Amino acid sequence: MKNNDWKSRLGVMYSTNPDFQYETNEEPEEETLPKEKQKLRVSLDKRNRGGKVVTLITGFCGTTSDLEALGKLLKVKCGVGGSAKDGEIIIQGDFRGKVDEILRKEGYTQVKVIR
């Protein structure tokens, strides 16, 4: 976080205390589990997407940068769009088999495909 990030401190009153340190309620991110211990679930989802089908990968435990890196790898290998946020990866289209194959080649052993 930048020192001059004033937008995150909009509700703070001015302090005349020279030793005052602004405290944020941000929690530190948990470390990424090794690939062998990740319990990933690959499923198909159509809810709240206007009838469009997406492949949903859930169960990732780790930092957001690692989640985004895995999401980018899957999007590139499948050749489609998607996103990675809130601990889940969304791949546009039905790519359950291909995603399972890619994850196993990358070293993720505990992958469960939900049919």
**pLDDT-above-90 percentage for the chain:** 57
Q: Are strands 54-58 and 88-92 parallel, antiparallel or unpaired?
A: antiparallel
Predicted local distance difference test score (pLDDT) of residue 95: 95
For the chain, the domains span 31-113
pLDDT for the residue numbered 108 = 93
Fold of 31-113: Translation Initiation Factor Eif1 (3.30.780)
- pLDDT band at residue 14 using 50, 70 and 90 as cut-offs: low
pLDDT (tens digit per residue) in 42-77:
999 998 888 899 999 999 999 999 999 999 999 999
What pTM does this model have?
A: 0.75
Burial of residue 6 (CB within 10 Å: 0-12, 13-18, 19+) is exposed
- How much is the pLDDT for 2? 54
